[in-house]
Amino acid sequence: MNVARGNKILCSVGVTAYNEEENIGHLLAALVDQHLHSVEIAEIIVVASACTDKTVPIIQEYMQRDPRIKLIEQEKREGKTSAVNLFLAASQADICVLESGDTIPHEYAVEHLVRMFEDPEVGMVGAQKVAVNTPDHIIGLLSHLRLRMEHELCLEIPRLGEMIAFRKLFDRIPADVAMDEAFVESLAVKHGLSVQYAPDAIVYNTGPTTLTDFVRQRRRNHAGHLYLKHKYGYAVSSIQNRRVARVALKELWGVIRLVWVLFLLAALEGWSRLLGWKDFAQGRRHVVWDMAWTQKQDVQTVRSDMQAQKDSFAVRSRTQLEQ
């Protein structure tokens, strides 16, 4: 089994797909075009489970473009765990990257995930999920809010999914496990290795857009996590209600602050308009402006200072995460 080639960390990328003709081509193109420095993708293995659309022909087309792309076809759809086990059996590298067929990785996602395995104590790393559909209705807004809360939770205790990387410490996942990412997480912890979150490794997907799909997704996930806790004794962070409640309260406080700021803004705008009406009634035209002197600053310097503060905050966040 390969661990490294030269100074680079080798990884096998696995993609599980079921009827993904709309997305699979874009996904494979994104994987082929990854920006890699300390990492090398040895192979990209797509497990297509009983696809009835054009998923397989699209994969075969990309196989002609890049020899690293390989295809495993399942005649019968047997669940994601079965597809993951086929990938594990075929993969050659010690580091595995697993991604769902309905996602798109950022151009640096694989690099940011896999380079963390330079630390021998790291057993699993997860990407940050970002929804691409706009929150222009209540379900879209709920999906975005849930992902933001999940991000905050992962900064404290990782709860990984959609795109993960892990050391190949096992040959297969039990067939009765529905939440493969959570089971891999439990195995990493069992082996005394750390589970890390890489917020700079971005993976894009679309959140549910209907109430039925939202409930269906959350229902199956929670049932799978409860089963994992019941049979294998491992509880993911999102099932720990106190931690979730703390994150939710943080979001609620943000909403309260926003409402207060909006109220203050409305009050100040109303008072300013009243004064403006008074000036108009008294014939004051403000041809020579009554200057707002705090606006008279070096814009470039202020902009640079703001960027420096953002960079400093990012460094502190990264340092806290690594600790």
Q: What is the pLDDT of residues 263-291, one digit of tens each?
A: 877 887 888 888 888 888 888 776 555 65
DSSP string, 201-253: EEEEE----SHHHHHHHHHHHHHHHHHHHHHH----GGG-HHHHHHHHHHHHH
- State the burial class of residue 239 (Cβ atoms within 10 Å of its Cβ: 0-12, 13-18, 19+): middle
Q: Measuring CA to CA, which residue among 141, 84, 116 is closest to residue 322?
A: 116
Query: Average pLDDT, stretch 151-175?
Result: 80
Q: Measuring CA to CA, which residue among 173, 201, 178, 190 is closest to residue 104?
A: 201
Residue, of 162 and 231, whose pLDDT is higher: 162
Residue, of 283 and 164, whose pLDDT is higher: 164
Q: What is the pLDDT of residue 287?
A: 57
Q: Is the pLDDT of residue 319 over 60?
A: no
Q: At what angle do helices 80-90 and 180-190 cross, to 10 degrees?
A: 50
For 116-135, give one letter per residue: b (16+ CB within 10 A) or e: bbeeeebbbbbbbbbbebee
Residue, of 38 and 237, whose pLDDT is higher: 38
72 contacts 46 by C-beta, under 8 angstroms: yes
Residue, of 311 and 64, whose pLDDT is higher: 64
Condensed to tens digits (0 to 9), the pLDDT of residues 242-268 reads: 665 666 666 666 667 777 777 877 887
Match 């019968």 to its residue by tokens: 76
Query: Average pLDDT, stretch 147-169?
Result: 78
Q: Is the pLDDT of residue 321 over 50?
A: no
Measured CA to CA, the distance from residue 97 to residue 166 in angstroms comes to 7
Measured CA to CA, the distance from residue 158 to residue 160 in angstroms comes to 6
Token pair for 114: 């896999």
- CA distances, 22 to each of 101, 102, 205 (Å): 10, 9, 13
Question: Which domains, ranges and CATH numbers included, belong to the chain?
Answer: 4-239 (3.90.550.10)
91 contacts 171 by C-beta, under 8 angstroms: no
Q: What is the pLDDT of residue 130?
A: 85
Q: What is the pLDDT of residue 170?
A: 87
Q: Measuring CA to CA, which residue among 32, 56, 58, 203 is closest to residue 132?
A: 203
Token pair for 306: 């703001």
* 72 strand-pairing partners: 47
Query: Average pLDDT, stretch 209-221?
Result: 73
Condensed to tens digits (0 to 9), the pLDDT of residues 135-155 reads: 666 777 777 677 777 777 767
Confidence of residue 174 (pLDDT cuts 50, 70, 90): confident
Q: Is the pLDDT of residue 320 over 70?
A: no
> Across the chain, what does the average pLDDT equal?
81
Residue 68: what residue type? Answer: R
Q: Is the pLDDT of residue 198 over 60?
A: yes
Residue 200: what residue type? Answer: D
Token pair for 33: 């075009």
Q: What is the pLDDT of residue 110?
A: 97
Confidence of residue 2 (pLDDT cuts 50, 70, 90): low
Query: Average pLDDT, stretch 176-190?
Result: 80
Q: How far apart are the first and last CA of the chain?
A: 30
pTM of the model: 0.70
Q: What is the pLDDT of residue 185?
A: 85
103 contacts 127 by C-beta, under 8 angstroms: no
Measured CA to CA, the distance from residue 143 to residue 93 in angstroms comes to 34
DSSP string, 143-202: HHHHHHHHHHHHHHS----SEEEEE---S---TT-S-HHHHHHHHHHHTT-EEEEEEEEE
Question: Which of 146-155, 157-166, 287-296 is the least confident region?
Answer: 287-296
